[in-house]
Amino acid sequence: MTQGAGASAPVTNVRADSSTASADDGGKKSESGRLPAVVVYHDIFNLVFIFWLNVANFLFLRTGRHFFLFFYSTMVYFVADLLYVAIVPRSVKSPMVILIHHVITALYLLIPYHYPSYGWCMSYCMLVEINTWLLIAKRTIRLPVVNQLLEAAFYISWVLLRNIFYPYLIFVFYREWQNETRISGTPWNPIGITPIFQVALTGLNYYWTLSLVMKPSKKKQL
């Protein structure tokens, strides 16, 4: 951990999730079976940048140092991805959902920026980007054995991070708000919004989970 979980660890969240963190597999394939160029470019950007975010996150978790390197990398990613999706909405299947997610996340990131001691919370939330990277990697890497491993890792990490860990963080952040309330003497402190934002991002994760589960049934109906 970073600042030590034992201390009155403040709270931060981050998206969580990247532009393709959902069950959103990007634009539709052409008749030739190839993805449109705007989707391919978007995937390459995410594959490279999210890999770096995961490295920066693990570095911060491991050492408790270089928080602002991690923070600025994350903010640059979300702003850049938000702009790309806004300008080229056909690069993803659900652009409005992605844009809402990124706006919530960017606002959420302002908490650790002003209160760096809450960086461990941001780091925990950003662990979900492992799943995002696996999502993109499994549709980009075409080696059969590797693809099967990525597919398995993707679904396992989806359940563990999005369906179990993210809801758990709601309670963690609620307790941190209670601690901050005792310290500051007022419930009207910045940590109060963190359980609310976490609920919103968790809701998006379950929306994407439902979309993922419903996919096979939709195919059967066609």
Q: What is the pLDDT of residue 217?
A: 53
Per-residue pLDDT, 18: 42
Asked whether residue 146 is domain-assigned, the answer is: yes
Amino acid 24: pLDDT: 52
Q: Tell me, what's the pLDDT at 214? A: 86
Indicate whether 82 belongs to any domain.
Answer: yes
Residue 209 lies in a domain: yes
Q: What is the CA 22 to chain-centroid distance, rounded? A: 9
For residue 167, what are the domain limits?
A: 37-213
Confirm whether 3 is domain-assigned.
no
- Residue 21: inside a domain: no
pLDDT of residue 6: 39
> Are the beta carbons of 125 and 116 closer than 8 angstroms?
no
Considering the domain boundaries, does residue 149 fall inside one? yes
Q: How far apart are CA 71 and CA 200, in angstroms?
A: 21
Question: What pLDDT was estimated at residue 212?
Answer: 87
Angstrom distances, CA of residue 218 to CA of 44, 68, 99, 221: 28, 44, 25, 5
Total domain count, the chain: 1
The verdict on residue 17 lying in a domain is no
Q: What pLDDT shows up at residue 68?
A: 96
Question: Per-10-residue mean pLDDT for the chain, 222 residues long?
Answer: 41 41 52 78 95 98 95 97 96 92 93 93 97 94 91 97 97 96 93 94 94 67 35
pLDDT score recorded for residue 34: 76
Q: Which helix (H) or strand (E) holds 173?
A: helix 166-184
118 occurs within a structural domain:
yes
d(CA 132, CA 177): 28
Task: Name the pTM for this structure.
Answer: 0.82
Other CB atoms within a 10 A radius of the CB of residue 110 amount to 12
pLDDT at 194: 94
